[in-house]
Amino acid sequence: MTSNRLAQLSQRMASVTLLLIVAMLLLNAAMWLFPGLSTVGAGFALTERQLPIIADQALLFTWWQVLGGIVLSSVPLLALAGGLGHLRRLFQGYAKGVYFSADSAQHLGKVGRAVAIWVLLDFVCEPLLSMWVTLHAPAGEHLITISFTPPTFVALFLAACISIIARILGQASEVDSENRSFV
């Protein structure tokens, strides 16, 4: 692949990453504003696990319950959005031809950390969200849910791999910088 083609692809990926950030946050909010969307399989993480269970009751939520659902389910997504923002900056750097740099390594490392934080916040926010959506349920029908799914393990594994690759990229950029100083 030529460097010009790689630069174009990197710029496109930066744009797609920005669209993904905006789309996931908007779709998450839309799921709470229009709970019927949960029946078509749309959603992200917490919202996808919580809303289908209570979709008929969610239509009766007050505005503050909907707002609380949006906020609680968006907390992990905001951590992920931060990581995707660093991924976007990484692609923008690649589009400019900056491959081996300390900045690239830092952005990639922040992507890995953000994915790990996303998983942690998803785990913490799920019981809070399940309590929130069953707040007005009759006695004996309140829920506290906790889940650790196979995609959670995959996300943690990928976060660890990305973090290790970021450290390798950091070392490679140091070696590249030293080699350039000798020439």
What's the one-letter identity of residue 34? F
Question: Does residue 8 contact residue 92 with C-beta atoms inside 8 Å?
Answer: no
In tens, the pLDDT along 67-99 reads 998 999 999 999 999 999 999 999 999 999 888
Tokens coding 130: 């399940």
Please identify which residue in the block is written with the tokens 């750097």: 93
At 151, the pLDDT band (50, 70, 90 cuts) reads confident
Domains contained in the chain, number: 1
- Per the structure, the complete domain to which residue 86 belongs is given by 3-182
What's the one-letter identity of residue 96? K
